[in-house]
Chains A and B, each alone.
Chain A
Amino acid sequence: MPSSVMPTSTPDPAPPPAVSAVGLRKSYGGRAVLDGVDLRIPAGTVFALLGPNGAGKTTTVRILTTLVRADGGLAQVAGHSLASAPERVRAAIGVTGQFSAVDGLITGWENMLLMTDLHRLPRREGRRVAAALLERFDLTGAAFRPAQSYSGGMRRRLDIAMTLVGNPRVVFLDEPTTGLDPRSRQGMWEVVRELVADGVTVFLTTQYLEEADELADRIAVLHNGVIAAEGTAAELKRLVPGGHVRLRFTDPDAYRSAAEALRDGAAPDGEALTLRVPCDGGQRELRSLLDWLDAAGVEADGMTVHTPDLDDVFFALTSPTAEQREATR
């Protein structure tokens, strides 16, 4: 496993991590939501916390953003201890939660001025910052409409704009693209890239491997309250044996003869008349697979290339064989 030998932890006088946590624990009503989470996020990078609903992603964000206290463990954000200096942490972070944190009763402009006032910017400076951020997030035209009349994508953009008042050094985005249309999602990715270009550390949670793949320098998979795997996107994908080509047949006889011919390399599904052949989806491997199918005289009626997705990561990381593999490493 490549992730077991990672020569990344160099003891150089590296800058302190933007976020570090050791053994974070949190229970709700006797149920352990986080059961010892360790994190270390270098400053100026994008970190994605990946996991299904209920995995504890939001709880992790809520602890790191001082909304709730951990039951156990230690954590530092932007060099300040969560337990002893939460005010300093708050001064360094910006948070966009899963649920819209805008005041729907007032306009976008008034929401922005609320933030500049709370950051205690001088009046003129505040108005300049508010106008610039509304412009940047394409909300100038809607600035004087009540925020509750905004579409989902606009609300999310206003939310981020409000978060960026005061130039936070660490930005937390909890499922920033859930429920957004593809164009808005692209826009959000662009925002994340711009933030990192400015040296900001971004901590984002997502359910989509694609999103983490696109944005994150490092990805951690949260499962059952612990980090089940951590690494770059490429490292994680190597953990996942989910890449395959699915061959579909309409004629049961053709299916049976193909299953017989590919006995050594394919997982059959008799009911759906499909065969799964492992393949990473690369062009070279795909060609050799096709050659092999030709040589074996297999004529499939259809084929789809299936790349690893979050489901595969989870099946791989949580199936009994995976756990044994982890244990014997």
Chain B
Amino acid sequence: MSALTLATRDATTMLRRNLLHARRYPSLTLNLLLTPVMLLLLFVYVFGDVMSSGMGAGAGGGDRSDYVAYVVPGILLMTIGSTLVGTAVSVATDMTEGIVARFRTMAIHRGSVLFGHVAGSVLQAVASVVLVGAVAVAVGFRATDATVLEWCAALGLLALVALAFTWVAVGMGLGSPTAEAASNNATPLILLPLVSSAFVPVDAMPGWFRPVAEYQPFTPAIETLRGLLLGTEIGHHGWLAVGWCLALAAVGYAWSRVLYDREPS
């Protein structure tokens, strides 16, 4: 068997272990879904009318359903942000367990335990996005104009964002001494979408704040997702989103490998 086959095999074994954890303790995953679902309901039913009228012409006629359409892409990306906290916590917890020391003394692919975490987390993130997406449809989200290709591209983009940020979250988990610290360190990943164009257009923000929303990974990803699902202008956001994801994945991967190869204290 080639080195790649062996690596894949070990990573699959590790993935199975992560999926067992997720299946055995589903409450952890479901808890993480509460935040995006609550935000969705809050922004649609409580703030919805105000938000849509505030956005005025930008969102069409100022109807609540227009705001549903506007906010859902951001909520879907926030869903990914929420599952990342779970990733960072489970990696940090794992590293404090003796089982990882055992893996390090075995003749297996060295990074396989990390690949297992990443693959498991991306699967969980995609499943979460599907669940939250179902809630979004239930509260009135429609993307009937999108073609099958656009739907696939949207799902692909969400998976790519999940992959990129999961590697960052794995690094955060590896760099945190405890599960609590990992949870704190990963919290900015939930907050970052709040200061993007998820809830209000960047144009509607005060001038000094716009750069914060403009120059961060979530805004281009959200704009691209809107374009794919709702037919708005994508423009340069598409390339920006993919670029951000590739860069974050590469940095997160390199960082995680350095931290994992570091001598255990």
Contacts and interface: CB of A to CB of B under 8 A. Distances in A.
A87 interface: yes
A209 B189 CA distance: 53
Interface stretch (B100-108, B141-149, B197-205): B100-108
Which DSSP category, helix, strand, loop or mixed, fits chain B's interface?
helix
B264 interface: yes
A67 B25 CA distance: 30
Chain A interface extent, by class = 20 to 34
B138 interface: no
A95 interface: yes
B26 interface: no
Interface of A: 65-69, 87-88, 90-91, 93, 95, 97, 99-106, 110, 114, 117-120, 146, 162-163
Interface string B6-47: 100110010011001100110000000000000000000000
11 contacts: A65-B105, A67-B101, A67-B104, A67-B264, A68-B263, A95-B105, A100-B98, A101-B102, A106-B17, A118-B108, A119-B106
Nearest to B263: A68
Given A68-B264, A110-B20, A118-B10, A97 B104 contact: no
B226 to A, nearest CB: 39
Nearest to A87: B107
B24 A106 contact: yes
Interface in B127-180: none
B107 A91 contact: yes
B99 interface: yes
B12 to A, nearest CB: 8
Contacts of A88: 107
Given A103-B99, A106-B24, A118-B10, A90 B107 contact: yes
A104 B106 CA distance: 19
A243 B108 CA distance: 49
Contact of A104 (B13, B97, B263): B97
Contacts of A106: 17, 20-21, 24
Given A100-B98, A101-B99, A66 B9 contact: no
A149 to B, nearest CB: 12
A106 B94 CA distance: 13
B98 A97 contact: yes
B105 A99 contact: no
B102 A97 contact: yes
Interface in B54-108: 97-99, 101-108
Given A67-B101, A103-B17, A106-B17, A90 B24 contact: no
Contacts of A68: 263-264
A219 B13 CA distance: 39
Contacts of B16: 114, 117
A103 B113 CA distance: 13
B114 to A, nearest CB: 15
A102 B263 CA distance: 21
Q: What 3 pairs across the A-B complex have the smallest Cβ distances?
A: A101-B98, A91-B107, A101-B102
A118 B100 CA distance: 13
B6 A120 contact: yes
Contacts of A67: 101, 104-105, 264
A110 B14 CA distance: 12
A90 B13 contact: no
Contacts of A100: 98
A88 B105 CA distance: 11
Given A110-B20, A114-B17, A120 B101 contact: no
A102 B103 CA distance: 10
Contacts of A104: 97
A106 B17 CA distance: 8
Contacts of B107: 87-88, 90-91
A119 B10 CA distance: 9
Contacts of A163: 102
User: Which of B9, B16, B17, B264 has most A Cβ within 10 Å?
Assistant: B17
A97 B13 contact: no
Given A88-B107, A95-B102, 16 more contacts: A66-B105, A67-B104, A67-B105, A90-B105, A97-B101, A99-B101, A101-B97, A101-B98, A101-B101, A114-B16, A117-B13, A117-B16, A118-B108, A120-B9, A146-B24, A162-B102
Nearest to B265: A28
Contacts of B6: 120
Contacts of A102: 98-99
User: Which of B21, B103, B108 has most A Cβ within 10 Å?
Assistant: B108
